[in-house]
Structure formats: C-alpha cells, structure tokens
Amino acid sequence: MPRFYGHPLGGLQPTRSGYVDVADGGGARLYWEEYGAPTGRALFAIQGATTKIPSMGHFIQVALERGFRVLVYESRGLGRSSCQVAGRQTTTLLAADAQAVADGAWGPDSRFVLYGISMGGMVAQELMYRLVAAGQKSRILAASLTVTSPGSWLRLPSFLQLPLMLMAFKPTAAAASSAPAANESTNGRRSTAKKGGGGAMFADDADFAARYSLDTLFGKAWLAGPAPPEAIDPSAGDEGKAMVAAAGAVQEVHINVAGGAAAGGSGNGSHVVTRREVVWRVFTAHWRETLALHAPNDYPAVACQVTAVLGHYLQPHRAAVIRAAGLRISVGVSTADAFFPEAAQRQLATALGAEVVQVVGAGHLDGAMLDGVYSAFDGVLGWLLDTSQQR
C-alpha cells in the first residue's frame, strides 16, 4: 500500500542506480534510478521541468503497487546530474538524453512503457519520433503523455529564450529578513503579503513558505477535497483513524474533476485532513529534494532547462511519422491548466492519433500526487496495456 505521508518516496530505495555520460550539448552526466522488482513491467518515466526524482515519489509508489519497475532520471544540470555547458536546451537534445538513459540502464534493445508529464511529455514526443525514425518503434509498448502540449510554431525567438529565463530565475536578495516565519506561511495559497527575494528561486524555508503557490499547480477543488488514508500520519493513533473516518476515504480514492470541498467535519468534531494540507506539508518539508528551485544551487541549470519548453514544437511531419507508426498512445488532459491550455493538450491527442484521451483533473498536477496518481494506472495506462493483450 502506498505511503503518502512524509517523504514522497515513502521509504522506497532504488534497486539500481547509476550514471550515463553523453556528449551532445557540450556533454553531461545523467543520474538515473530504477525502482521495483526486476520482473516488473518496464516503465520509463520522464518528469517535468524544475523537478528532481523524489517529485515522482507518489507515482513511483503506485507504479510498484501495480507491478511495474520504474526508470527515472534527473535532467542535465539538475539534482545529481551535471552539465558541462550552461546553454539553451531543446526537447530534441533532452530526448537524446532520455534515450541514452534508457539504453544505458536497460540496454539498446529494451522495450518499455513510456510516460511523460508536463515538459517530460514534450521530451517523450521527441523520443517517440527519434525511436520510430530509427526503426525502433517496437521498443515502445505504449505511451502516456500527461498535461503536456505539442508547442507552437509561433514561439519566442531562440536567441531570447535563455536570456529571459536567466532573468526570470536569477536569485536576487536573500529572503530570510523579509519573508514571514514558517508558522505564518500561506499554506500554499497566493498571498499579497510582502514577498521575499529570489524571483522564481527560493533562498530558504521561510522564503518558500511565504511565496510558493499550490494554486498554480493544482485545482482548488481538488486541494480542498479530503486526503486519502495513505496520507494520514500512521503514528497519529486514534486521532488519525478519526480523520480517515471523517474523510470517508477508501484505499484508492480516484480523481474527481469536480473535486468538491472537504467537509467541515464528521459531526463529532474531528478535523478532516484536506489534500492541500498534505501536499503543502510534503512540499515545505522536501522542496529542496523535489524541486530544482533552491537559490543559488539550482541556478542557472534550471533556467537552461526551461528554455526547452519555450522552444518546443512537434512539427506536423514528425507527428505524422509517429501517428503512422501505430503506437498505442494516450493523452491525459487537465481542464484548467495554468501552463498548457486544454485545447493544446487535445490538439496533441489529435495530432498523434491517441487511442485514449482522459481528463485527469482541473489543475496541472491533480493527477500527479496522492490519490490523483491512480488516474494514470486505472485509466489510460491500464486500458492501453489491458487491450494490448487482446491483440
């Protein structure tokens, strides 16, 4: 049973880990980890921008519960991966990195289910094209692209992308003196209070607690809903059991786009723990491990990485090549995404000839944490893999 309380990985340790050296883009050393039994079905997960491996912890836990073994890695320059040159990146470059990781960890003839979320979905698009064009389409058993976009031909000129991101992410004044104390934090809500320095980066715990917003990443209704029992403190004793009973949660609470606010109580005065409380607790306790937003440690690498999002465009002829290959593809859509409009996500599904389009939530990451993760396995991936056995 997954454990959503505490560290995102819930105590899991990788069964294998290692590094892959690549020469493209000036050279990089990519750190990867594998979770799960060697006999599990291979799942290669490519995560979103500004994140490190533990950010996929809830996804990895559910994947292992469902019989997968998961390969994840940290993008060049982030976390335990290094990058020799600080420069503009492209999803084509990052797709070459991804293939190098899969080849290095699992072998050049390995076959796997491909999962990409957010920017990772953009990289997955390019990886699919890369493998199909090389005559290796059989390596992809199925592909699930979640809350992502094909990009657009109308995009920021390449020569402006890196300078603008370097400005956006550049650490500025130390925030400790101006940010409120941790116990005065916003609980992940947007705040009009005086902000600390750092732009898109965070200097310390107080700065993060004061300025980071969950409302940009998650739907408000989803955040207001009751947390699943896996997220309740196992050491809470009778009080913890009362919280679960009050929430009326079951072992697997599947995502509900409508959400619904959490009840004010169970009638006996017990507090209902909401997803917002749980997610905020995870983020504030582990943001340095999960997010590449710690100033100055993660700068300028994170700014370089985000340029890949700005420059991504799945050209029609590439989409046509993927579509003609007959790959089993699903697209997960969020309906009120702050980063990728729903129309763009659905456009991707059409361009690739996706067999399944599933609404995974309203917010960008509703389907990426807590019980929202089940949507990937009980929905798109589950259907693709189950029906593939019938062919």
| CA atoms within a 13 Å half-sphere pointing along the CA-CB vector of 10 | 23
What is residue 66's predicted lDDT score, i.e. its pLDDT? 94
- What's the CATH fold of domain 16-156+303-388? Rossmann fold (3.40.50)
> Residue ranges of the domains in the chain?
16-156+303-388
Whole-angstrom distance, CA of residue 165 vs CA of residue 373: 30
Predicted confidence at residue 189, as pLDDT, reads 80
pLDDT at 233: 76
Rg (CA), the chain: 20
b/e map 363-374, b = 16+ CB within 10 Å: bbbbbbbbbbbb
Residue 154 confidence (pLDDT): 87
Ordered DSSP codes for 9-49: TTT---SEEEEEEE-GGG-EEEEEEEES-TTSEEEEEE--T
Rounded CA gap, 257 and 123, in Å? 26
| Cα distance from N-terminal residue to C-terminal residue, the chain | 31
The two tokens of residue 88 are 């503009």
Give the helix/strand (H/E) hosting 329: strand 329-334
CA 74/CA 367 separation, integer angstroms = 21
Strands 140-146 and 329-334, by their bridges, are parallel
Task: State how far the alpha carbon of 90 is from the alpha carbons of 100, 218, 335, in Å.
Answer: 16, 26, 26
Strands 28-35 and 68-73: antiparallel
**Separation of CA 329 from chain center:** 18
- Please list, in sequence order, all residues whose beta carbon lies within 8 angstroms of the beta carbon of residue 383, skipping any fewer than 6 positions away: 330, 356
Q: What phi, psi does 97 have (nearest 5°)?
A: -60, -45
Alpha carbon distance 370, 353 (integer Å): 30
d(CA 326, CA 205): 48
Three-state SS at 144: strand
Quote the CA–CA distance of 337 and 327 in Å, as a whole number.
26
pLDDT tens by residue, the chain, 391 residues = 789 989 999 999 999 999 999 999 999 999 999 999 999 999 999 999 999 999 999 999 999 999 999 999 999 999 999 999 999 999 999 999 999 999 999 999 999 999 999 999 999 999 999 999 999 999 999 999 999 999 998 899 999 999 999 999 998 765 444 444 444 456 778 654 434 344 689 999 999 999 999 999 999 999 999 999 998 877 665 555 444 444 443 333 333 333 433 333 444 556 789 999 999 999 999 999 999 999 999 999 999 999 999 999 999 999 999 999 999 999 999 999 999 999 999 999 999 999 989 999 999 999 999 999 998 888 777 777 776 655 5
The span from the CA of 293 to the CA of 291, in Å, is 5
The three-class DSSP label of residue 210 is helix
